[in-house]
Structure 1
Amino acid sequence: MLEEPQKKAIQKAYSTFLTSKKLKARPGQKQMIAEIARALGEIKADGEGRRISDPAVSVIEAGTGTGKTVGYVIPAVVMAQASKKRLVISTATVTLQEQIISKDLPDVILKSGLKFSFTLAKGRGRYACVSKLDRVLQEEQSTASLMDMFAAEGYSLEQDESSLKLYQTMLEDFASSKWKGDRDSWPDALEDQQWRMITTDHAQCSGRRCGYFSQCPFYKARGDLESADVIVTNHDLVLADLALGGGAILPDPKDCIFVFDEGHHLPDKAIDHFACHGRLKGTASWLEKGSKYLQKTLGQNALPGDLGEQLEKLMPEFDDLVNHLGHTRTMLHSLATFEPRMQGDMQVAVHRFPEGIVPDEVRQQAEILKAGFSKSSGMLEKVAKELNDAMDGGVPGIDRWQAEQLYPEIGAMQMRLENQFQLWLTYTHPDPEGEPPSARWLKWSEGPFGEELEVFSSPILSSSTLWQTLWNPGYASIVTSATLTALGSFNRFRMRSGVPSESKTIVVPSPFQHQLAAQLVVPDMLSEPRQSEEHTEELIEIMPGLMESQRGTLVLFSSRKQMNDVFYGLDNSWRKKVLLQDDYSRQELLKLHKKNIDDGKVSVLFGLASLAEGIDLPGEYCEHVVIAKIPFSVPDDPVESALSDWLEAQGRNPFMEITVPDAAIKLVQACGRLLRTEQDIGKITLLDRRVVTARYGRMILDSLPPFRRNIEYAVL
């Protein structure tokens, strides 16, 4: 039960915040604060602060304008401090993360009277490795041997004069404290391949044994995590920490109150995080280069005892794996029936194993590869341990400098071997009976590195993973977003996330007066999206009339082809007013659009799904949202196809359980681009008559906010 001191502290902080900001309480925000305080107050803990009651998970849908951040920060901070827990706020996007760190939390501290410290937690890959940066400059090609092994994975990392000049500037700015050493604070845009050369991961990092440890940007940032009351991070980092058992990067889950803002992304993020993938030709290529690297290393260094012997024994193991991968590639090509499809601008071919069940010969070959990668990984793990000891001066015959040079390369190779072991393990392991099966599939493609066959494995639901790693071990979790319900129910989110059945799910009211502020128009049309050419031609014909009534318009397409066809089908005078998403970075696109509006011009954005969520265009920047069609997912995604098959096998209807609810959520998100503040007004036009004619249309229509409806019909 919520105790009186905490209740009063929350009420006082909220009242002080509203008074300081000269705001009135929003009903949805008040309800959110009350629900979170009550849920956290009901947790029972033992004398050491460990939760002994049922898993505490609250799921709260709160629309735009509710003031979600204040709605969860005030009660969660008070309850976290009272229970001696840490508050971890996780977002799906950098934009929201930056807003919380730079604006929302300082505002709450300044205006509410609450006192707490906070910090930002980012993954190791966002920080430069000072050791690598120094080595690149000292030897220019010092890391080329390692990166060359992975060139077949899809990128080339050749050094050039401009990169070396960049690295020199970085090192100088870091040494003079002008730069913190993280990618986000570097003033200019960085190419991914430039950044890869100077960052690291846990397998390559020697930690406290590194000669640059005291200056390390990552470990300096880690120091702040030890003391901060509130940690702001992202879903990927939380999931990475949970995959390591929890407490490796962030505090132990049992000591955390988690808030997942933009929480509708969490189930899909979890699926991606626990998926496995490997390129057969690319893996064989880096194994061959890895063998040459080991041979070169042994030739240049007199490595004593077990260390040298282990590296010598590895080379034939690598050669065996290369041969087995070649045999696997030939066998899979002979067994698979590939279906061609387009992936962006490239044609690929996919074969999915029905119900995730692989043929016996594939399973047997996977057993061989699993054993080979496991053995090689284990041998390299021993080498890495020896090098670790050598960095402490514990191995006669190897000096610290030698060990520091070798450790990153050995660590990176060991991690790649471990990843391949995990992939082939999933092809040998039968799925637990009664549980959703894994999706397993192959993809053939021909790109800049030649022909390639890729092997994939992925869970189709994240429910059991999130239960085991988060919901059950965590002290408490709050999931919030503007789009957690689908077709008026939390069933979709429950199925995908596995939140405990007893979890409280609520929808808090939005402050927007949707009926007064906006109307939804479904015009009478001659075509439907299923008639793709006719629908595109009709869009070209009616689009000028839709774009001319407001200064700021956002047009959302589900297909890049249709977006481009409509754009190039318009006459030149209209094309000059349209900003096409593919022509600009997202940041540049929005900046140009706002500048056009500020200059008094008409500006129209043509975009795809990424502009249907997470962009903020208040007021005249967006007074009209045009949606080309109901955003149904592409039906050929292997994970979604496997989930559909599983539901069908149980006598369930995947179209009504997956396809329609998913489309409804995406449509709500797209409509959400219109009203960003309580003062906004405008119109949404949906160019898809299926909301009127199809049997599922009424369900989708009724799941939208209560806009005024203007559904046009032909006059007979």
Structure 2
Amino acid sequence: MNAAPTLLLPKAPVLVAGRTEAAWIDSDGEIETLSLAEAAKRVVLEPPILCHARATAERLGQQGFAAYDLLELFAFVHPARFCLPTPRGLIAALELPAPGDLAGQAAGLIAAAQRLLADLADPARGPGGIDYDRYARPVARAMHACGWRWAPYALTALGEAVPEQSGPVRPVGMDIWRDLPEWSEDAPPPNPSHFPVDPAEARARLAELLGGSAEARPSQADYASAASAAFAPREEEDAPALVLAEAGTGVGKTLGYVAPASVWAEKNKGTVWISTYTRNLQHQIDGELDRLFPDPALKAQKVVVRKGRENYLCLLNLEEAVRALPMRPQDGVALGLMARWAAATRAGDLVGGDFPAWLAHLLGRPRTSGLSDRRGECIYAACQHYHKCFVEKSIRRARRAEIVIANHALVMIQAALGGGDGGGENAASLPTRYVFDEGHHVFDAADGAFSGHLTALEMVELRRWLLGAEGRGTSRARGLKTRVEDMIAGEDRAEEALRRVLHAARCLPGEGWNSRIGEGQPDGPAEALLALVRKQTYARQPDRSSPYGMETDAHPPLDGLLDAAATLEGALGALLQPIQELKKRISAKLETEADQLDTAARQRMEAVLRSLTRRGEVQIGGWRGMLKALPEGTPDEFVDWFAVDRFDGRDMDYGMHRHWVDPTLPFIRSVVEPAQGVLVTSATLRDGSGEVERDWAAAEARTGSRHLPAPAVRVAVPSPFDYPNQTRVYVVTDVRKDDLGQVAAAYRSLFQASGGGGLGLFTAISRLRAVHGRIAAPLDQAGIPLYAQHVDGLDTSTLIDIFRAEEAACLLGTDAVRDGVDVPGRSLRLLVFDRVPWPRPDILHRARREHFGKRAYDDMITRLRLKQAFGRLVRRGDDHGVFVLLDPMMPSRLAGAFPEGVAVQRVGLAEAVAGVREFFGTADEAAEQAGQARG
């Protein structure tokens, strides 16, 4: 019997940094409370044990310092496992006693380190999957050679001898791709049948999903019954069964539409695509589907989460980074942890899946989330990892799944390209049944998917895709030649077309373009036009010193700009012509050698053709159309403008932009009309103007259903919540919104009155940062942790996870937080908006305002934003919440954003603070009495 491995801890201090002070346990076990300044001095002298080194450094005002970061150890021991990146979160994930103050958290980190090393010594507690020990030891050895501070202690726990010196880096054992399972090709599935879903079937399936002990929810059953109309067979071409369904918060719309969707998929042997706007909701829906398929193995066959390929780990990128490790040992920690995760991950999803988002912030994006195929460099079947590729695996699983959970952007791009996202999709594989959850965002998603951008960064990206990394010696930048040269070898005309493509691509901006344009020395036709776009944009700005982006109308153009546009349009035409010739030659080879090509070769050639279509005919063709329109003026259905994008006062991009005035037109044509049935659903589809027909007309305009020949089925199921008793709405009348000192004082007072659980929403990042700087310290002293988007550095989903877990915490954020947060319970009980969220009066909004009804359009968008924000407060029957708007200028016509029966009270700040304190005191007493009654 083998002796138990020895568990050793570093003889190092432990540090937990708060907002105003820090807890320090020295190597002899003595606990001290330090100022942040004193802690900053000590960490330079002695590397501490801590949780999240980068966040700690930011709190101490340091650029960085050596440390034993327990998050790195957690990611090594428990890859693909969830953990909040805070001391409390780490301790909770390891099921250790919850700590109290900072000193308790520091002591908890010692226990966490001991538990992690004990877990590592016991393979039974590991992540499972591929042989745990087989990869743990060699990866730890490679990380030790790269200087990982935890490596000696990890190796000791694994029963391995620790090398006396680090020695040369040999990344043996990081090649986890060797043992990943392969997918195999199957015959294409047959087309689904067209049997409808009877409302009674939907109700029955919903009852099964809820189980016999579930509380009766008539509104949910009514919703499921009405949603079944979207699964009726189509009776006319380009006229799908379309249902617009508004389901108030608390109805339970997810299971409500899953019920008829799953019945249809089962009856017709087909696939229903459920599309969301946010990744967060994708994974919530995936969790809900455990009710439909409680067996994980069966669920893996029936349910697939689909995203664009830029969301998945590219195994070829990982391999190339690992092979470069002997020359770049500084990447060893990141790549070792990525190898551990890649061996344990369920789907290879780097965004919102089982990848810890904080790892990218901790270790840097280039060697973590940056290992995805973000630049369209995939070589498909020519890649040695093709049959293990996470993206290709998800594509093939989706073809045979009953439920595919996707996002609006992927659905729209896939449909616009006639099937596929540039990968191994079949052009005939477009879905026939869709559910668009978060349907109020269909307009915004279509706006992004069907817009055109002739900008420096877009053109640089195309040049890189065509030419690869010019003169930089990095193999990750694979140009078009790498992708196609072997498939056209010996084909003289194809090889000549390729040479012409590579030559013509040099008309696009090259390395150093920004400096040349800024200095007035552009090189080539693209840079010449961009320099004039920059000049026109700057010349027509009222405030050139603004640190933010600038824009101006494309018309009338500066002298010389039309000539520059014509020159670039001709250069792009000279690039497009050989691309089309190359496409023609590859297509001909596909046809003439059909009996000689194996499946992999055929798929690779088809993928290249799709990429050339998307990057060539679609993108370049769109750019040429924009340039050709400059002399005559923009077509009525579009809006064109010039812009300079800036970050912290520095120019980052220049270019011309084109958007549809009504982006639901291409959405209807490319997505909805070809489908058999579509359900568009949300808690906030309709406007709140107070006029029923006008409110539905707004929903039809925002979803595009008004462009169909037959009207959509309208469904409205009210929320079961008692909003008049569960919520309060205050409009504060005596805080000057242009005085950030007053605004900050209001946030501080309101957050203290609620005892935390506050979400602060802002219309501008600068206002958020200014308020955060004023209130973080006093809230921390009051025992209320404050987190902030654009301040803490963590990604939004991680911030929301922390906010959800810490009931006394408060969070400041912008639109992304308003739309993506789902925090039931007391963790979100107060929502404070800094001012009325009117739409930004930019050029695009100006055109849409004119098209959609002037002031009524402004009011509709603003009510929708207020409605969405208010909807965050009450997520379940026992929630209570207060909504506060710090803007006395809110017009009464916006009050329709709030549920019927909820009074909007216009009060001073002192009265609002007292009302918050009293409301939650009463709510807490009621909750306590209800708990005693249940007991």
Q: TM-score range by the shorter chain?
A: 0.7 to 0.9
1:375 and 2:574 correspond: no
Alignment-derived partner of residue 583 in structure 1: 791
| Residue in 2 that maps onto 1:269 | 445
Instruction: Write the letter of the residue equivalent to 1:547.
Output: F
Q: Aligned pair 1:630/2:845, yes or no?
A: no
State the 1:89 CA deviation: 0.7
CA offset digits 1:115-156 (Å, max 9, x no partner): 992222222222333344334444679xxxxxxxxxxxxxxx
Correspondence for 1:663: 862
Q: In the alignment, which of 292, 297, 318 is matched to residue 108 of structure 1?
A: 292
In structure 2, the residue matched to 1:702 is 896
Q: Tell me by how many angstroms 1:436 deviates.
A: 4.7
Aligned partner of residue 621 in structure 1, secondary structure:
coil
- CA 1:140/1:66 → structure 2, altered by over 3 Å: closer, same or farther? same
Contact 1:61–1:506 (8 Å) recurs in 2: yes
Match of 1:125 in 2: 310
Cα distance between partner residues in 1 of 2:680 and 2:197: 25
2:640 counterpart of 1:440: yes
Corresponding residue number in structure 1 for 2:270: 85
SS in 2 for 1:236: helix
Shift of 1:16: 3.6
2:405 aligns to what SS in structure 1? Answer: strand
Counterparts of 1:627 and 1:410, CA distance in 2: 49
1:521 equivalent in alignment to 2:730: yes
Structure 1 equivalent of residue 658 of structure 2: 457
Q: Does the aligned pair in 2 maintain the 1:92–1:234 contact within 8 Å?
A: yes
**CA offsets, 1:391-428, max 9 Å, x none?**
99999xxxx99xx9x99999989965553443232332
Distance 1:122 1:662 in 2: 28
State the alpha-carbon separation in 2 of the partners of residues 228 and 387 from structure 1: 33
Match of 1:215 among 381, 385, 388: 388
Number of residues of Structure 1 aligned to a counterpart in Structure 2: 658
Q: Report deviation, 1:539.
A: 2.7
Q: Distance in 2 between matches of 1:205 and 1:80?
A: 32
Q: For the residues of structure 1 that align with 2:875 and 2:289, how far apart are their CA atoms? A: 21
| Pairing of 1:195-274 with structure 2 (within 5 A) | 198-200=371-373, 204-246=377-419, 249=425, 256-274=432-450
Aligned to 1:682: 881
Report the CA distance shift for 1:196/1:673 in structure 2 as closer, same or farther (over 3 A): closer
User: Aligned AA for 2:903?
Assistant: R
Decide which of 216, 237, 240 is 1:24's aligned counterpart.
216
Distance 1:435-1:26 versus aligned 2 partners, 3 A rule: farther
* Structure 1 residues 707 and 17: alpha-carbon distance in aligned structure 2, compared to 1, 3 A threshold: same
Structure 1 residue 673 corresponds to structure 2 residue 872 = yes
Deviation at 1:257, TM superposition (A): 1.4
Match of 1:472?
Answer: 673
Match of 1:290 among 464, 467, 482: 467
How is 1:268-347 mapped onto 2 (pairs within 5 angstroms)? 268-280=444-456, 283=459, 287=463, 290=467, 305-306=492-493, 309-314=496-501, 316-319=503-506, 323-332=524-533, 338-340=539-541, 346-347=547-548
C-alpha separation in 2, matches of 1:40 and 1:407:
32
Deviation, 1:440, is 1.6
CA contact (8 A) 1:355 1:437 kept: no
Is 2:714 the counterpart of 1:511?
Answer: no
Report the CA distance shift for 1:518/1:313 in structure 2 as closer, same or farther (over 3 A): closer
Do the aligned partners of 1:204 and 1:407 also contact (CA within 8 Å) in 2? no
CA distance 1:407–1:162, shift in 2 (3 Å)? farther
One-letter amino acid of the counterpart of residue 751, structure 2: M
Q: 1:575 to 1:242 in 2, by over 3 A?
A: same
SS in 2 for 1:20: coil
CA distance in 1, matches of 2:780, 2:866: 26
Deviation at 1:34, TM superposition (A): 1.8
Kindly indicate whether the alpha-carbon contact (under 8 Å) linking 2:197 and 2:231 is maintained by their aligned counterparts in 1: no
SS in 2 for 1:427: helix
Q: Could you tell which deviates more after superposition, 63-72 or 159-168?
A: 159-168
* Structure-2 separation of matches of 1:109 and 1:296: 46
- Among 190, 204, 222, the residue aligned to 1:12: 204
1:40 pairs with 2:250: no
Q: Is the 8 A contact 2:244 2:713 kept in 1?
A: yes
Deviation at 1:356, TM superposition (A): 12
For residues 483 and 356 of structure 1, the distance between their equivalents in structure 2, rounded to whole angstroms, comes to 41
Quick one: structure 1 residues 234 and 593, their matched pair in 2 at CA, closer, same or farther if it must change by over 3 Å? closer
Matches within 5 A, 1:56-75: 56-75=241-260
Report the counterpart of residue 520 of structure 2 in structure 1.
none
Confirm or deny: 8 A CA contact 2:762 2:813 kept in the other structure.
Answer: yes
RMSD: 4.7
Which residue is 2:624 aligned to?
A: 424
Change over 3 Å in CA distance of 1:563–1:198 after alignment to 2:
closer
Change (3 A) 1:607 1:223: closer
- Using the alignment, how far apart are the partners of 2:589 and 2:313 within structure 1? 22
1:332 deviates by 3.9
1:609 paired to 2:796: no
SS at 2:292 equivalent: helix
Question: 2: distance between equivalents of 1:670 and 1:312?
Answer: 54
- Residue 11 of structure 1 aligns with an amino acid whose one-letter code is R
Give the direction of change, closer, same or farther, for the CA distance of 1:387–1:371 in structure 2 (3 Å limit).
Answer: same
* Higher mean C-alpha deviation, range 64-73 or range 254-263: 254-263
**Does the 8 A contact of 1:627 with 1:687 survive in 2?**
yes
When residues 7 and 426 of structure 1 are mapped into structure 2, their CA distance, relative to the original with a 3 A threshold, is same
CA offsets 1:422-455 (integer angstroms, 9 cap, x no match): 3232332599999853222222357799775322
User: CA shift at 1:187, angstroms?
Assistant: 5.0
Cα offset, 1:685, TM superposition: 2.0
Cα distance in 2, alignment partners of residues 72 and 383 from structure 1: 47
Please tell me the residue identity of whatever aligns with 2:397.
D
Alpha-carbon distance, 1:546 to partner: 2.3
Quote the Cα distance in structure 2 between the aligned partners of 1:566 and 1:171. Answer: 41
Measure, in 1, the Cα distance between the counterparts of 2:546 and 2:558: 31
- Offset at 1:265? 1.3
Structure 2 SS opposite 1:368: helix
1:152 match: none
Q: SS in structure 1 opposite 2:307?
A: coil
The offset of 1:238, in angstroms, is: 0.7
**CA separation of 1:664/1:337 partners in 2, compared to 1, >3 Å: closer, same or farther?**
same
Once residues 293 and 274 of structure 2 are traced to their aligned partners in structure 1, the CA distance between those partners, rounded to angstroms, is 16
Q: Secondary structure at the match of 2:444?
A: helix
Change (3 A) 1:570 1:625: same
Tell me the SS of whatever aligns to 1:496: helix
Counterpart residue identity of residue 455, structure 2: R
- CA separation in 2, counterparts of 1:58 and 1:163? 51
Whole-angstrom distance in 2 between the partners of 1:352 and 1:383: 41
Map Cα deviations across residues 318-343 of structure 1 (whole Å, 9 max, x no partner): 44566222432355456556444899
The Cα offsets for residues 157-196 of structure 1, whole Å up to 9 and x where unpaired, read as xx9434366446656875x676754424445723443357
- Aligned with 2:752 (options 532, 542, 548): 548
How many angstroms does 1:73 deviate by? 0.9
> Deviations along 1:619-665, whole A, 9 cap, x unmatched?
221222222221112212x3223323x42xxxx742222x1111100
| Higher RCO (CA-CA < 8 Å; seq separation 6+) | 1
Q: Which moved more, 1:277-286 or 1:121-130?
A: 277-286
Unaligned runs of 5+ in 2: 1-193, 472-478, 510-523, 690-694, 911-935
Q: Percent identity?
A: 19
- 1:75 and 1:33 mapped to 2: Cα distance? 7
State the one-letter code of the partner of 1:484. L
CA contact (8 A) 1:132 1:197 kept: no
| SS class of match (1:619) | coil
Determine the C-alpha separation between the residues in 2 that align with 1:565 and 1:100. Answer: 36
> In 2, Cα distance between the equivalents of 1:633 and 1:180?
38
Alpha carbons of structure 1 residues 492 and 10: separation in structure 2 relative to 1, 3 Å: closer
Residue of structure 1 in register with 2:905 after alignment:
711
